[in-house]
Amino acid sequence: MPSHFKNSRNVNIAECTNISATNYNSYTSERSHKSSIKKLQKHVAAGALHNSAERCDAPKCHPETRVAVQDEVDSWICDGDSDDVPKEIMWVTGPAGSGKTAIMGSVADTCQGKGTLGATFFFSSFSGSADRRSKRCFVPTLAYQLVQHDAMDQVAEQILSTIERNPAIFKQRLDAQLDQLILKPLRACRDRPQLLEWPKVILIDGLDECEADQYHDMARSNANPRSKEEDQTEILSVLMKAASDPDFPFRIVIASRPEHAIKRFFAGIAKSLTRELFLDAKYNPDADMRLFLDSKFANIRRESQLPSSWPGKDVRRTLIANASGQFIYIATVGRFMEVSGGDPEELLKQVLQLPGFKASTDALAPLDALYSHILKSSPDPPLSVLWLTLIFREKYLERPAFNFSVSSGPAASFVRLYLESYPGQASHVFRNLNSLVFIPSMEDHKSPYHLYHKSLVDFLQERCRSGNLYVESKVVLEHFVDRYLHLWKTSMRRVIGIPDAAQVAGMSEAD
């Protein structure tokens, strides 16, 4: 070690301890990066990752189905540069129930296996996590996934250093977050040799399910509330900005319904950057649905010891015709028969007796008839629909007053506590509905109820679809307030010691 006192004279030092600190800067940097990762994690929508625990029941393409669509998306991701007119964004779109989320989930798995997956964000307006239907965590969640890539360690350093210098970045606009957390770190590393090992794609699913964030107290402000279309367009704008940047190395795949604002964006300002993939008959969904039904019926035959000829080719043809290209119809039929616990022949007969596609020009009519049939199989259909509407359509139990964390909605145990008039009522209300709703066990005090598909919310929202099952918003609010007042009165009795009716009856008998 070189002397600290070279060329010095007449220096006298007593009891000196010489400390070498050659690794001090490295240690400090490591410690600050750990702190930055913790700050970043607080703003990550963990449930929006394609492989999150929250998405364990999310739809995936059945083996050997939707192969043509998946191959086209994967081919574009890997070899899109060789197209006659290369595009930076692919928009996968189609009507409700056409299998967009299942396709995106399967593509994400394929890309992860190949090492080409950069990041994912799966929006969901009906999942347990509130941050999956908001833009707030969108950019931080993408940045967090880039930090996790071994091949992008230099980019990760840049991202974490940005957070260390500017921890308020998470409160800034989306375009500022994109610049600071993604684009500038990528620019700083553009000449690094590891670029060829970087992943190739970012996948965004369910953009139409992103809801509006409000920044003002609507009760005290004259400001107009933001619309979900404004927030969706803001997300599209930052993605287009990224795709237009020469230092942004990823392709972007966005899946959504063809909602007006989204369709207008891709047909207008982003047209030159976008390749559209519409899920229509060209991709032969009927053949894929036939494979799916064959697999489901084979499982039912084995479990119920039915003959190999069951249920007959005509049945498959009828169900596929009723689906009218919507995988959600076939998937719901499959779940209804698997989890209802009745005689498969009788359950299938019930489905086949419902109004089919030929009975209406509306492609959604068979799905609506199926939803109505399942809901009416509940012991108390009006109450079941009231609960579902309160929880999933109006979302009263997710309002700020309940102070749930951003990352999770109300647990099923809380819903039971709030809505039940007597112990065990939830089991009565949701009986026979487990083909539509995920119902946690009584021992599970954390998991929320969640729907298997957003199309049930669409059904509950439109009187023309749900018919006599439709519940007015006013009725839902009245029930919500009644339950609140009941719980408040009950808690106040306990606080001030007023006996309830049962206790009063007991006192009278004792007298």
The CATH number linked to 161 is 3.40.50.300
Residue 436 and residue 364 share a domain: no
**Comparison of pLDDT for 151 and 90, the residue scoring more:** 90
Give the pLDDT score at 408: 55
Q: Kindly indicate the confidence band of residue 101, based on its pLDDT and cuts at 50, 70 and 90.
A: very high
DSSP state of 182: I
**Comparison of pLDDT for 388 and 193, the residue scoring more:** 388
Average the pLDDT over each of 159-173, 205-219, 246-260, 438-452 and give the range with the smallest value.
205-219
506 within a domain of the structure (yes/no):
no
12 within a domain of the structure (yes/no):
no
Summarised one tens digit per residue, pLDDT across range 453-498 is 999 999 999 999 999 999 999 999 999 999 999 999 888 767 666 5
Residue 144 and residue 126 share a domain: yes
Range of the domain at 418: 380-493
Cα(428)–Cα(380) distance, integer angstroms: 8
Q: Calculate ∠ Cα 24-25-28, nearest 5°.
A: 85
pLDDT of 511 over the 80 cut: no
Contact between 347 and 122 under an 8 Å Cβ cutoff? The reply is no
Residue 136 and residue 47 share a domain: yes
Of the candidates 354, 377, 400, which is a domain's last residue? 377
Q: How many domains does the chain divide into?
A: 3
Residue 298 and residue 259 share a domain: no
234 within a domain of the structure (yes/no):
yes
CA distances from 203 to 41, 209, 292 (A): 20, 15, 25
pLDDT of 400 over the 80 cut: no
Give the pLDDT score at 284: 86
Summarised one tens digit per residue, pLDDT across range 12-36 is 555 554 544 444 444 445 667 788 9
**Comparison of pLDDT for 264 and 54, the residue scoring more:** 264
Residue 288 and residue 278 share a domain: no
Of the candidates 377, 401, 419, which is a domain's last residue? 377
Residue 411 and residue 355 share a domain: no
Nearest to 140 by CA among 60, 45, 211: 45
pLDDT of 191 over the 90 cut: no
The amino acid that residue 127 corresponds to is S
118 within a domain of the structure (yes/no):
yes
Give the pLDDT score at 4: 52
11 within a domain of the structure (yes/no):
no
311 within a domain of the structure (yes/no):
yes
Contact between 240 and 269 under an 8 Å Cβ cutoff? The reply is yes
Mean pLDDT confidence for 110-116: 95
Give the pLDDT score at 446: 87
Nearest to 93 by CA among 270, 244, 279, 368: 279
138 within a domain of the structure (yes/no):
yes
Residue 344 and residue 390 share a domain: no
Cis before 311? omega within 30: yes
Summarised one tens digit per residue, pLDDT across range 355-384 is 876 655 788 999 999 999 999 999 999 999
Residue 172 and residue 86 share a domain: yes
**Comparison of pLDDT for 283 and 173, the residue scoring more:** 173
Residue 468 and residue 409 share a domain: yes
Summarised one tens digit per residue, pLDDT across range 237-257 is 999 999 999 999 999 999 999
Give the pLDDT score at 129: 79
pLDDT of 62 over the 90 cut: no
Residue 321 and residue 251 share a domain: no
Q: CB count, 10 Å around CB of 337?
A: 22
Give the pLDDT score at 97: 87
Cα(195)–Cα(157) distance, integer angstroms: 15
Average the pLDDT over each of 179-188, 203-212, 278-287, 294-303 and give the range with the smallest value.
278-287
Token reading at 461: 């929202």
Nearest to 235 by CA among 336, 305, 118, 139: 139
Cα(212)–Cα(46) distance, integer angstroms: 20
Of the candidates 334, 358, 377, which is a domain's last residue? 377
463 within a domain of the structure (yes/no):
yes
Residue 251 and residue 353 share a domain: no
Residue 402 and residue 336 share a domain: no
Average the pLDDT over each of 65-79, 108-122, 144-158, 182-196 and give the range with the smallest value.
182-196
Give the pLDDT score at 82: 86
